[in-house]
């Protein structure tokens, strides 16, 4: 599992660790890991042109010490010092000793233009969102000449604790982070600015408290997946009730049921209008149509905007079983929820629920997912490139596995079925949401193979996704 901590937590852990090791140990570990990652990215150091953009703090020091290591391996390393009088003295001396040099101000553009790689050592976890004018001017050159950036710990200018990017910031191809992941590296829009994230172990582990954000990996998902045993039957494996579709949106019913049948449950009951019911049973003859006992409900996909469908949502929420509410059903969640409830909005739906602009939700995904979880006393799965799953008790998970090809009509209907199946199988809303997202995105990756797909392709690939994650656990 990937875990991310707040700046306050990281600072405390660093202080505790530094009290047990010689001065400079942490910076040495960070610089070594950073230099190694740069060599991997470049495919070798010898003959490469590397430009360091160094601020005045320890982040700049990490970059300068890493630059010294690259210079000793044959790279041509130059440093742009944003505040020469406050540059990290030890790092600068090491760089010069290894053959690196400082770029005069009037030669900065030439240095950037011929660079193979730029190291962003402007500011670390202590920085505020945005870049100061001089740093912004240098990074504009970097973007103009399309030079790949390796960010040191975090892309300078993002909000480290939220992933928000209200001001201009660095966009990295790779971020080499130290000790633990930072929240802003896992949550969009900061996660998109970070590129590929590489974690360097500097020994913080024993000193870190519970994380602020978690991100499941395949082995974690495998450990959470419900699995039948020799005594299982269709009822003990879970029965899911699906209330989806309308005469206008018949496909939503078929896709939600398809996602559910790709899950670990034993039976699906479909409750809805005649025409969607006919299509569901034609596609899936094993589905039972009509009311009956269930272990969880999925309600909402394709209900349409008819006021009478509010009763469908109310009945599901009044039943004493876990409930997932999606899409049109979210219009009818008006009060704080009781019991185990999972809400699955996209940004536009969450904006409507919270009565804010969609652009606000896009810019502050973590904030609004947590606000909604608290307001409705429900776990909220905010869909997106990095899905946020926030529970009302404060636990948060994000999912960054996936492919842009899953952004296709009906994909969310399939997701609701998957997560509902996991609720019926006994998982909590937090686990069902985060495991369901992982399976959904993994199925999308397997189905697409880098090319276009439709929602049915995702549902069809779910068994392969299950096999993939279970193989990670060796089961």
CATH (domain of 30): 3.40.50.10260
Per-residue pLDDT at 450: 79
The boundaries of the domain holding residue 445 are: 218-473
pLDDT digits (tens, 9 = 90+) for 390-443: 999 999 999 988 899 999 999 999 999 999 999 999 999 999 999 999 999 999
Last residue of a domain, one of 188, 215, 242: 215
Total number of domains constituting the chain = 2
Say if residue 460 carries a ligand binding annotation: no
Q: Is 413 annotated as a binding residue?
A: yes
The answer to whether residues 185 and 152 belong to one domain is yes
Joined together, the tokens standing for residue 462 give: 């779910």
Are both 153 and 203 inside the same structural domain? yes
Q: Are 289 and 270 in contact (CB under 8 A)?
A: yes
- Check: CB of residue 437 under 8 Å from CB of residue 220: no
> Was 23 annotated as part of a binding site?
no
Residues 203, 259 within the same domain: no
Q: Residue 120, annotated ligand binder?
A: yes
Each residue's pLDDT tens digit, 84-125: 999 999 999 999 999 999 999 999 999 999 999 999 999 999
Model confidence, pTM: 0.95
- 308 and 351 in a common domain: yes
Q: For residues 340 and 222, state if they share a domain.
A: yes
Asked whether residue 289 falls in the same domain as residue 197, the answer is no
Q: What angle do CA 153, 450, 260 make, to 5 degrees?
A: 95
Between vectors from CA 423 to CA 420 and to CA 427, what angle results, nearest 5°? Answer: 145
Of 184, 215, 246, the position where a domain reaches its end is 215
Residue-wise pLDDT for 330-375, tens only, equals: 999 999 999 999 999 999 999 999 999 999 999 999 999 999 999 9
Question: Residue 62 is inside which H or E element, if any?
Answer: helix 58-72
- What letter would DSSP give residue 326? E
Closest by CA to 199, choosing from 326, 67, 30, 398, is 30
C-alpha span between 63 and 119 (Å, rounded): 7
What is the average pLDDT value for the chain, to the nearest integer?
96
Same domain membership, residue 230 and residue 182:
no
Count Cβ atoms below 10 Å from residue 11 Cβ, excluding itself.
13
The residue behind tokens 């969310």 is: 412
pLDDT at 233: 82
125 a known binding residue?
yes
Say yes or no: 405 and 311 in one domain.
Answer: yes
Q: Do the annotations mark residue 10 as ligand-binding?
A: no
56 shares its domain with 187: yes
Please say which residue of 152, 184, 215 terminates a domain: 215
- Any known ligand binding at 433? no
- Can you name the residues that pair with 243 across neighbouring β-strands? 299
Report whether 42 contacts 13 (CB < 8 A): no
Same domain? 203 vs 222 = no
Q: Is 201 annotated as a binding residue?
A: no
Question: Is 252 annotated as belonging to a binding site?
Answer: yes
Q: Return the ∠ at Cα 131 (arms to 125 and 135), rounded to 5°.
A: 110
Q: Is 121 annotated as a binding residue?
A: no
61 has binding-site annotation: yes
Query: Would you say 318 is a known binding-site residue?
Result: no
We report the CATH number of the domain holding residue 468 as 3.40.1190.20
Residue 444 assigned ligand-binding role: no
- 113 labeled binding residue: no
259 with 345, same domain? yes
Taking the alpha carbons at both ends of the chain, their separation in whole angstroms is 18
Query: Is 129 labelled a binding residue?
Result: yes
Write the DSSP symbol of residue 385.
S
In a shared domain, residues 119 and 228: no
pLDDT of 1 above 90: yes
């Amino acid at each position: 599992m990937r875990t991310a901590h707040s700046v306050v937590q990281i600072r405390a852990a660093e202080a505790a660790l530094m009290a047990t090791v010689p001065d400079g140990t942490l910076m040495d570990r960070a610089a070594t890991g950073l230099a190694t990652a740069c060599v991997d990215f470049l495919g070798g150091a010898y003959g490469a042109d590397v430009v360091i953009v160094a601020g005045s703090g320890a982040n700049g020091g990490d970059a300068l010490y890493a630059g010294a290591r690259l210079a000793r391996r044959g790279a041509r390393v130059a440093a742009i010092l944003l505040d020469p009088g406050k540059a990290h003295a030890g790092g600068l001396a090491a760089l010069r000793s290894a053959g690196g040099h400082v770029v005069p101000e009037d030669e900065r553009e030439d240095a950037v233009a011929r660079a193979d790689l730029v190291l962003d050592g402007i500011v670390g976890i202590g920085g505020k969102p945005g870049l100061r004018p001089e740093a912004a001017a240098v990074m504009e050159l970097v973007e103009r000449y399309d030079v790949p950036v390796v960010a040191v710990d975090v892309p300078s200018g993002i909000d480290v604790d939220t992933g928000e990017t209200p001001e201009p910031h660095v966009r990295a191809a790779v971020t080499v982070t130290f000790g633990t992941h930072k929240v802003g590296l896992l949550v969009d829009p900061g996660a998109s600015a970070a590129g590929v994230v590489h974690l360097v172990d500097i020994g913080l582990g024993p000193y870190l408290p519970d994380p602020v954000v978690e991100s499941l990996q395949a082995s974690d998902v495998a450990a959470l997946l419900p699995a039948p045993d020799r005594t299982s039957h269709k009822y003990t494996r879970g029965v899911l009730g699906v209330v989806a579709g309308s005469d206008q949106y018949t496909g939503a019913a078929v896709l939600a049921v398809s996602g559910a049948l790709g899950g670990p449950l034993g039976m699906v009951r479909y409750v809805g209008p005649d025409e969607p019911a006919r299509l569901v049973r034609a596609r899936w003859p094993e589905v039972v149509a009509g009311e009956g006992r269930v272990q969880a409900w999925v309600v909402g996909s394709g209900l349409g905007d008819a006021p009478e469908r509010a009763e469908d949502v109310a009945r599901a929420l009044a039943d004493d079983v876990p409930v997932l509410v999606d899409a049109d059903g979210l219009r009818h969640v008006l009060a704080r929820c009781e019991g185990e409830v999972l809400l699955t909005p996209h940004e536009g739906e969450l904006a409507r629920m919270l009565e804010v602009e969609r652009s606000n939700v896009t810019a502050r995904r973590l904030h609004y997912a947590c606000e909604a979880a608290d307001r409705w006393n429900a776990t909220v799965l905010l869909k997106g490139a990095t899905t946020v799953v926030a529970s009302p008790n404060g636990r948060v998970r994000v999912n960054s596995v996936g492919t842009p090809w899953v952004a296709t009509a009906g994909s969310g209907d399939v997701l609701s079925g998957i997560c509902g199946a996991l609720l019926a199988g006994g998982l909590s809303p937090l686990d069902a949401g985060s495991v369901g997202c992982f399976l959904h995105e993994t199925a999308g990756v397997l189905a697409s193979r880098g090319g276009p797909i439709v929602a049915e392709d995702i549902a069809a690939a779910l068994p392969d996704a299950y096999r993939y994650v279970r193989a990670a656990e060796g089961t």
